[in-house]
Chains A and B, each alone.
Chain A
């Protein structure tokens, strides 16, 4: 059997591209956009998100046969919230500057539809290792979308890449100016919209 057709691999690769949670399923954009002004915050946010989705899927899948049906959602929320708090505490202890910039958006991972969506739709009915991989895949898909938006916004908005000036000074002397608009909220919506367009056209051609 080819690697690309195992269930294991498909579980991981599906959410990365063909079924990306942000750009195809339109989930979890809430927290996604506000942190995309810089690549650094986007990357950290992506990693935090991946950790939370992966481990909440794993834990819930492990206890999926024991959770009483009637308190399922609240139990899931508690596990997710615990993981989010741990992530937040960790960031505040070791990456203070970034956690200051992310402010409330780490906390908002709790209500991010991707996390609850994956635990509900996948972890509850699949074994732990698949659930974990599914979590990582979805987290990575989310991060990929985030990083792409952040890359565009940081490059066009402040001429930087990971906080380093990469546009040569000659551009500026020749009259080029940073696009301040890219740093404002509306630009994120428009970039996502265009990304969706690009990807949908692409994915459609793939399947044909």
Chain B
């Protein structure tokens, strides 16, 4: 509440997606609040946090949306895709299934997000080396295939968390013209609905 009232030059909407329990909420809370707990509660639907940062001389307000990972909710969560400027796709390096889902998530982005949206691939829980099921090289290869940056992170030990958010914010910022009037308040996640300038918001 306090952070939102501070002035900023640019607002960027980020969306966190990935299978259930890969650590989306943990990453977000580590980044936004610098806290960690192994028992964050299940995200139902969508949640969001604000973090204002200094990025190359500009005050940038990040509005980060955290989504439910479970399959059922995709029908609901994909309506949040449109209007997001950056997408953080997370898998769990200790769970191959979540890595295998990355392709289907990428397809979802393709179908439902804005065409130029920036993406970053994250392998979380890098602190749990003994349980690793997906190698760093595999992760990197997949990221290269989609042409996106790749990080292995640990929300628990605070490894690479800030880096990944800063990277995606910087990429999005480079793409978006700095126009304070356009980014003042009431940012639209569902921009198709707000402006009316986009024809047909449904597929």
Do A and B originate from a single complex?
no
